[in-house]
Structure 1
């Protein structure tokens, strides 16, 4: 496990209030593969709360990713849904948990809110 991965999971409880605003509740097991080993994280989510532990256990959903891909996700260099669609990672279970969890990842560098871009365009036309 990389130090960045450790810090990412440690940061979840503090960031959950702003990230998990919708009615999401459940447990997501995240399996990170590196070499021929798998690291397990269990993330329990409720509105405004998240807890991450180094456990395996009963989960409502399981997401498998390589550790290298996960490092790119936490750096904002890749997108979780795109990686899943490209079959770079696999998922099974309650998809709402995956969709909620991916909001913890940063946006790619240079990404802007489309509403902000639209306001600028409208402002230039005035």
Structure 2
């Protein structure tokens, strides 16, 4: 596994309360494949807390991704929902956990909040 992936998972407990709030309550198993190996991460999301371990279920949902795709997700170069829709990764179980977990991924480089753009435009008009 890459160092970036390790750091990403290590950061989740500290970032969880801010990013998730009360959105998720369950366990997501993330299986990352590289060559003929699969590494497992278990992410337990509860209101106000996230715990991460390097083990398999039981889980309310399972998400499989290649390690290479996951590296692109954690840098904002790829989007999780799009990857599932393109069948680049698979997901089964409680979809709310997947949708909540994607909040940990950064926005694509160069992305701007449309509300900020509108505010700046409105300021120039006034």
- Write the deviation string for residues 81-126 of structure 1: whole angstroms up to 9, x where unpaired: 1111111100000000000000001111111111101112222222
The gaps in structure 1 that reach 5 residues or longer are none
Aligned residue in 2 for 1:39: 39
Q: Is the 8 A contact 1:74 1:106 kept in 2?
A: yes
Q: Is the 8 A contact 1:19 1:48 kept in 2?
A: no
Q: Per the alignment, in what secondary structure is the counterpart of residue 23 of structure 2?
A: coil
Larger CA deviation: 116-125 vs 104-113: 116-125
Instruction: Tell me the distance in 2 between the aligned counterparts of 1:85 and 1:74.
Output: 18
Aligned residue in 2 for 1:21: 21
Q: Is the 8 A contact 2:23 2:100 kept in 1?
A: no
Q: Is the 8 A contact 1:28 1:59 kept in 2?
A: yes
Instruction: Tell me the distance in 2 between the aligned counterparts of 1:42 and 1:125.
Output: 50
TM-score, structure 2 as length reference? 0.96
Aligned residue in 2 for 1:115: 115
The gaps in structure 2 that reach 5 residues or longer are none
Matched, 1:91 2:91: yes
Query: After TM superposition, what 4+ stretches of structure 1 lie above 4 angstroms from structure 2?
Result: none
Q: Per the alignment, in what secondary structure is the counterpart of residue 100 of structure 1?
A: helix
Instruction: Tell me the distance in 2 between the aligned counterparts of 1:25 and 1:45.
Output: 5
Aligned residue in 1 for 2:7: 7
Total equivalences in the alignment: 126
Larger CA deviation: 64-73 vs 106-115: 106-115
Aligned residue in 2 for 1:69: 69
